[in-house]
Amino acid sequence: MASDDKVNILLVDDQPAKLLSYETILAELGENLIKAASAREALEQLLKHEIAVILVDVCMPELDGFQLAAMIREHPRFQRTAIIFISAIHLTDVDRLRAYEMGAVDYVPVPVIPEVLRAKVRIFAELYRKTRQLEQLNVELERRVAERTAELEASTGRLMQSEERRSLALAAGQMGSWEWDPVNGDFAWDDGQYRIFGVDPATFDVTVDNIKALIHPEDWKHLQNAIKPASQNTPSFQTEFRVCRPNGQTRWCIGTAVASADATDNIVRISGVTVDITDRKEAEERQALLA
């Protein structure tokens, strides 16, 4: 990865050992990792650098993670910055709701599963990078459109509005996470997963058959590889697939999955994340038509 393609990831924790562990886990992503030992240091780093993702501990002295997230969101420059909370204590549903209200886009419990943390941070870093690249392309597009007719200028104005909505949607984190217990066959979805698939948590039974019914037939075999990794040593699997919602909408998504094993080398859990990239796909198609 070229140095100018790297994005900045801010790691915030008052314990040096935990900062070092996060740095070790995320090192293979090849991004720029910036550390802060307090909320004050985190705010200073935010003012110095363009930050793509903030990884912040909920429990810190002076200002906790909730308060820091609220301060970050109050600044116009950081209203769309991805914030991931890490907490060593069990958060109630009320705590999780408070976290999202304060600006969090995701939550990771302790002990941290390195593969899952890398997968989540990688997705937000890539979304930030793609958004930045599109913004650069838009600058060039504006220059070219200025030389064309008024009709093309009006069309480009509509395109820019669409791109702005797309960027806001991406920064808002159109993301869901899930876990599967292959021993008992139990699935667990978060609210984002239900939202992406367009189903009601109160009525939708999360089973393999029901999930398969919502996946485009041409994409199901590829997605099965993400649901059933070969072993715990298999690196995180990532693929694009289409969700066919019950209301007839089709959404393009990126799916990532990793396996976890017990002491006897048996897979006991498979964790994954899903990101809705439909708006990005549509924007890239429009860009290709204008090229």
pLDDT above 80 for 147: no
pLDDT mean over 186-210: 93
Above pLDDT 90, what percent of the chain?
30
CA dist list (Å): 155 to 148, 169, 262: 11, 21, 56
Asked if residue 229 lies in contact with residue 259, where contact means CB atoms within 8 angstroms, the answer is yes
Split at pLDDT 50, 70, 90, the class of 35 is very high
Is 138:131 a contact under the CB 8 Å cutoff? Answer: no
Nearest to 170 by CA among 252, 229, 115: 252
Residue 49, classed as helix, strand or coil, is coil
Lowest-pLDDT range, 1-15, 87-101, 157-171, 178-192?
A: 157-171
What pTM, to 2 d.p., does this model score? 0.45
Of the ranges 16-30, 106-120, 189-203, 227-241, which one carries the lowest mean pLDDT score? 227-241
Indicate the pLDDT class of residue 170, thresholds 50, 70 and 90: very low
Instruction: Give dist(CA 82, CA 54) in Å, integer.
Output: 6
Residue 39, token pair as written in the block: 């909320």
